[in-house]
Amino acid sequence: RFSTATALEELIVPTVQISYTQNLIDGKFVDAASGKTFPTYDPRTGEVIAHVAEGDAEDINCAVSAARKAFDEGPWPKMTPYERSRILLRFADLVEKHSEELAALETWNNGKPHEQAAKSELPLLIRLFHYYAGWADKIHGLTVPADGPHHVQTLHEPIGVAGQIIPWNFPLIMFAWKVGPALACGNTIVLKTAEQTPLTALYVAKLFHEAGLPPGVLNVVSGYGPTAGAALASHMDVDKVAFTGSTDTGKIVLELAAKSNLKPVTLELGGKSPFIVCEDADVDKAVELAHFALFFNQGQCCCAGSRTFVHERVYDEFLEKAKARALRRVVGDPFKKGVEQGPQIDSQQFEKVLRYIRSGIESNATLECGGGRLGTRGYFIQPTVFSNVTDDMLIAKEEIFGPVQSILKFKDLDEVIRRANTTRYGLAAGVFTKNIDTANTLTRALRTGTVWINCFDVFDAAIPFGGYKMSGIGREKGIYSLHNYLQVKAVVTPLKNTAW
């Protein structure tokens, strides 16, 4: 029941205004130093919705100077943790107040279903800031039982100016994963948004200032990766860089950090996550969860369950039902109620996904449904299912980042463990079984940063997230995320000052 091209022609006009398009540096909205702007689009049509200041190295320099000054001179790192916590809470309240505009803007600029933005992502954004507000005044050092007559303690101090580079698939959630822990720990920030989705971060950064954040603490620069992004990663005055995006760009960021001032780097990169349906699975439930694991957010999730391994005993039934479910998926204007899938983010991603579909067909996987564009404008793609996928096919090895489910057959646990782990990625895995022994065996054997058992995409603020292998370095969310933004200082004092 794909939407027809006709239905896609009658698009809902968003009611939200685009109020902020300049860079936010030192508490003020300013044009790019070069005066340049770049267009940002509505992925439903490919039409321009606004022109945004195009930051480059010069704007990054200004933003870093502002962040440096705000860190070195304060008041932010010197404020009491409780005062910082209050600002984070006030910000969360303002986000709640402006949730409607923010959800509309997120859908307009990104193409994700409005119900998803409004009912799950905005509440999660608020929850993430409540969570980090809770941490701000609970960051403790240790008293260390060292040998010898010394009193030894550790101070957990903010690391300084954090450079943060985020992608376009979850613009507001990525903002929160980066900004939340950095601010809770007392750092200052220069954030570079993805060129596809600059609008909501500017909006919420404005709200942060209304909440009482001092100027220079959070600076937001819009612009392209090789110019603005690279300038941030290689800046000598940036003390830490955090990046989410492709594995290839992650390598560049790591290299730029190493070649400049050896700033520590956290990376959250691509994935090719297995979703394993065991022989005892309730097939209807497994189909629904595997469908969600892959198709959620137009398939544009780093942790998407993009290799659906199904035990041979339930394979045929699973396949038939997975295909029927994909055919029932409601694709259309993401502003319309009941729509499950909107357009892909831009023409580049759209073309990339279609290329992988062609590659699947050429490598003799069986195209069960979908396989093409939907409508005549915008970046809509039919929910696509391939069966008879084998491990050597490109669609089983590379990140497609689109609504393309690849179904692979397996015979026993040892085999599926080996195959699931045969990838350069290690972000997440899904396991669907009623058998606790099977769940325990798989959990320990899978080399991934998350294992979801009989669930998928559970993104609580307290649950750490990150990758093994080439899916990244470090963890975001939860208590682990704080370590990315803290330095540990050992302070050693003789118990009796006999030396002097």
Interface ranges with ligand TXE (CB under 6 A):
165-167, 169, 192, 194-195, 224-226, 229-230, 233, 244-246, 249, 252-253, 268-270, 302, 349, 352, 399, 401
Q: Name which of 181, 198, 231 is nearest 33 in CA terms.
A: 231
* SS3 per-residue string spanning 387-443: ECCCCCCHHHHCCCCCCEEEEEEECCHHHHHHHHHCCCCCCEEEEECCCHHHHHHHH
Rank residues 138 and 251 by Cβ distance to ligand TXE and give the closer one.
251
Task: Provide long-range contacts, Cβ within 8 A and 24+ apart, for 71-80.
Answer: 71/158, 71/160, 71/161, 71/187, 71/188, 75/214, 76/186, 76/188, 76/213, 76/214, 76/217, 77/158, 77/186, 77/187, 77/188, 79/186, 80/137
Tokens of 328: 């029932």
In angstroms, rounded to a whole number, what is the distance separating the alpha carbons of residues 449 and 458? Answer: 13
Residue ranges in 114-246 assigned as alpha helix (H): 114-116, 122-136, 171-184, 199-210, 230-233
Rank residues 90 and 235 by Cβ distance to ligand TXE and give the closer one.
235
Contacts of 358 (CB under 8 A, 6+ apart): none
SS3 content of the chain, % helix, strand, coil (to 5): 40, 20, 40
* Cα end-to-end distance, the chain, whole Å: 84
In angstroms, rounded to a whole number, what is the distance separating the alpha carbons of residues 298 and 113? Answer: 9
Phi, psi of 164 (to 5 degrees): -130, 130
Catalytic residue among 62, 278, 301, 302: 302
Phi, psi of 230 (to 5 degrees): -65, -35
Beta carbon of residue 39, minimum distance to ligand TXE (angstroms, whole number): 15
150 close to 494: Cβ distance less than 8 angstroms: yes
User: Minimal CB distance to ligand TXE: which residue?
Assistant: 225
Residue where the block lists tokens 């995006």 = 245
Classify each residue of 244-257 as buried b or exposed e, where b means 16 or more C-beta atoms within 10 Å of its C-beta. Answer: bbbbebbebbbebb
Beta strand 150-158 with 218-221 is: unpaired
Cα dihedral 468→474→478→484 (10° resolution): 180
Beta carbon of residue 175, minimum distance to ligand TXE (angstroms, whole number): 12
Catalytic residue among 106, 268, 340, 368: 268
Beta carbon of residue 479, minimum distance to ligand TXE (angstroms, whole number): 22
Q: Clarify whether 195 is annotated catalytic.
A: no
Rank residues 102 and 253 by Cβ distance to ligand TXE and give the closer one.
253
Q: Clarify whether 303 is annotated catalytic.
A: no
Rank residues 187 and 471 by Cβ distance to ligand TXE and give the closer one.
471
Rank residues 91 and 401 by Cβ distance to ligand TXE and give the closer one.
401
Beta carbon of residue 235, minimum distance to ligand TXE (angstroms, whole number): 11
Rank residues 110 and 433 by Cβ distance to ligand TXE and give the closer one.
110
Rank residues 40 and 438 by Cβ distance to ligand TXE and give the closer one.
40
Beta carbon of residue 174, minimum distance to ligand TXE (angstroms, whole number): 8
59 close to 52: Cβ distance less than 8 angstroms: no
Beta carbon of residue 155, minimum distance to ligand TXE (angstroms, whole number): 32
Rank residues 59 and 333 by Cβ distance to ligand TXE and give the closer one.
59
In angstroms, rounded to a whole number, what is the distance separating the alpha carbons of residues 413 and 357? Answer: 29
Beta carbon of residue 349, minimum distance to ligand TXE (angstroms, whole number): 6
Beta carbon of residue 394, minimum distance to ligand TXE (angstroms, whole number): 13
Please give the positions annotated as active site. Answer: 268, 302
